[in-house]
Amino acid sequence: MSTHSFGGALNERLAVRDLAHVWHPCTQMKDHERDMPMIPLRRGEGVWLEDFEGRRYLDAVSSWWVNLFGHANPVLSGAIRDQLDQLEHVIFAGFTHEPAIELAEALVRVVPRGLTRCFFADNGSAAIEVAVKMSFHYWRNRGRPGKTRFLTLANSYHGETLGALAVGNVALYKDIYAPLLMQVLTAPSPDAWQCEPGESWEDCARRLFGPLRDLLEQHHAELAGVIIEPLVQCAAGMRMHHPIYLKLLREACDEFQVHLIADEIAVGFGRTGTLFACEQAHISPDLLCLSKGLTGGYLPLSVVMAGEEIYDAFYDEYQNLNAFLHSHSYTGNPLACAVARATLNLFATEPVIERNRVLAAHMGRAAAPLADHPHVAEVRQTGMILAAELVKDKRTREPYDFRERRGLRIYRHALAQGLLLRPVGNVVYFMPPYVITPDEIDFMAGVAAEAIEAATCD
Ligand SMILES: *Cc1c(COP(=O)(O)O)cnc(C)c1O
C-alpha cells in the first residue's frame, strides 16, 4: 500500500469518527455529508497546515484570526514547554505567578496610555462579559446606578455568550436568541462601504457619527458604555472605517460621561498596521478587550484592561461589597500567560510592525486585480486585513442571495488548490499569519482570483 492511499484512508477514517461524535462550532453539520469534507489535520508549520494525505493548505485566515507567527512556531512552542515543567495551572485568587505578572507588565507597556490594570479571562466573549459587567458596576459603585445600558454599532460582533451577543449586532448569530438578550441602543456603523459617491472614508465616518452623537445626547444618563471594534468590524465581513470616528467617539464619551469599550480582540496585535487599532486615532479607551492574537494563537486567554480610575471604584473595604466578584476557573492560566508573554516578546525584539507594512503593501498589490472582476464591488484593506466584496450586480451593488452559497463555493475551490479561505457571507478576505512570504501572498491572491471566478461564473 502506498503511503498516499494509506493516508487517504486515515483521513477518511478520522473524518467518519469525528462526525459520529463531535459537534463543530458555527457549522450546519449536515453540510459535511456532501458539500464540505471534514479535514483532519496532522500538523502545522508556519502558514501551512497538512492533512493525513500530505495535502497542504495555506492558512489565509490565521485559524479564525488567532495565529500571528505561524503554526508550531519554535519560540512560542518552547515557551509553553518551559512553563509546562514548572507550573501548569493554579488558582488565581490569592496566588500569582511570573508569567501573569510579566505579561501584565508587558501589556501595560505597549497598550494605549492609561490602561494600567489587567483582568484576565479565558476567551474573547468572556472578556466582553467582564467589560460589560465592570462598566455597569463602576457606575453603580460611583453612585450612578441609573447607568445600566450599552450602546453598540450596527454590524458589530463581540462574541457568542449572551451578554456579548446582546451588545453585538450580526443578525445571523443574534436574531434567534433575541428573547434571551438585554436591550441595547444601536447606532449606524461608520462602515466606509456606505460612502456616498465621491465621499471620502473620513467624510463618511464624520457623517455617520452624527446619529451616534444624538443617541449619546439623549440617553447618556442611562448609558454605561459604548462598545466598538476599532477600525474593522471583522465578523460583519471586514467592514472598515476611518480612524476619525474613534477620535470623535472618544471626545463624545468624555463629554457625556460614558465608557468607551474597545474590543480589539480581532484587530489587536498588529492586524490593522499598528500594534493596536486605537493608536491610529491617538486615543485610549476606558476598557480594552484583548484575546485571539494575545497568545499568538496557541491557547485561550483574554484580558480586559482598565485605568486607575475604574480600578479605584472597586477598591474598598470588603464589607462595602464593592469588589468585582467575577472569576473563571482558568483565569490567568500560566501556560497561556507564558505563551502570551513570549508573543509580546517577539513584538519587542523583532520589527514585526515594520515587516507587516511591507507585507501589507505587497498584499494590496497582489489583490488589486480582483477589483476588476465583474462581481467584485470593492477591494478594501486595513493593514494585514484585506477583503473583496462579491456582488451579483456591480453597478447597483445588489448582493448575491445567501442561499446561493457563493462563499462555500469559493471555500471548496480554494481548498482543492491548497488554500484555506473562509469567506464571511459574500466577502472573501485575507488575514494571514505575519510569517507569510511575498511568494505565498502571490499564491493566495492567485488562488482567490480563480476561486472567485469559479464561484461567480454562472
Ligand atoms: C472573536 C471575537 C470575539 C469573541 O471571542 P471568542 O474567543 O471567540 O469568544 C469578540 N469580539 C471580536 C471583535 C471578535 O472578533
How many whole angstroms from its chain centre is CA 160?
13
Task: Residue count of the chain, please give it.
Answer: 458
Average pLDDT over residues 214-237: 98
How far is residue 57's CA from residue 69's CA, in Å, rounded to a whole number?
16
- Protein residue with its CA nearest to atom 11 in ligand 1: 158
Percent of the chain with pLDDT over 70: 98
- Choose the residue to mutate in 122, 152, 153, 158 for probing ligand 1, maximizing ligand atoms within 8 Å of C-beta: 158
Sequence-ordered list of residues with C-beta below 8 angstroms from that of 132, at least 6 positions apart, any chain: 150, 163, 164, 167, 224, 225, 227, 261
Domain 9-72+352-456: state its class.
alpha beta
**Domain 77-349, CATH:** 3.40.640.10
1-15, 46-60, 294-308: lowest mean pLDDT where? 1-15
Query: Average pLDDT over the chain, rounded to whole?
Result: 96
Give the distance (Å) from ligand 1 centre to CA of residue 292.
7
- Give the residue whose CA is nearest to atom 15 of ligand 1: 266
Which phi-psi region, left, alpha or beta, contains residue 331 (left: φ > 0; alpha: ψ -120 to 50)? beta
The yes-or-no verdict on residue 176 having pLDDT over 90 is yes
> What are the cell numbers at 180?
434571551
| pLDDT tens per residue, range 346-356 | 999 999 999 99
Domain range annotation of the chain: 9-72+352-456, 77-349
Give the confidence band of 33 by pLDDT, cuts at 50, 70, 90. Answer: confident
Predicted local distance difference test score (pLDDT) of residue 9? 87
79-137 pLDDT, tens digit each: 999 999 999 999 999 999 999 999 999 999 999 999 999 999 999 999 999 999 999 99
Ligand 1 pocket mutation pick from 61, 125, 174 by most atoms within 8 angstroms of CB: 125
pLDDT tens-digit profile of 396-447? 999 999 999 999 999 999 999 999 999 999 999 999 999 999 999 999 999 9
Categorize the per-residue pLDDT at 3 as very low, low, confident or very high, splitting at 50, 70 and 90.
very low
Q: Whose CA is nearest to atom 3 of ligand 1?
A: 159
Residues 6+ apart with CB under 8 A from 131: 225, 227, 261, 263, 287, 289, 304
Helix (H, G, I), strand (E, B) or coil at 14: helix
154 neighbors 186 (Cβ within 8 angstroms): yes
pTM for the model stands at: 0.97
Can you tell me which atom of ligand 1 is nearest the CA of 302?
7
- Rounded CA gap, 91 and 74, in Å? 28
Which one has a higher pLDDT value, 4 or 192? 192
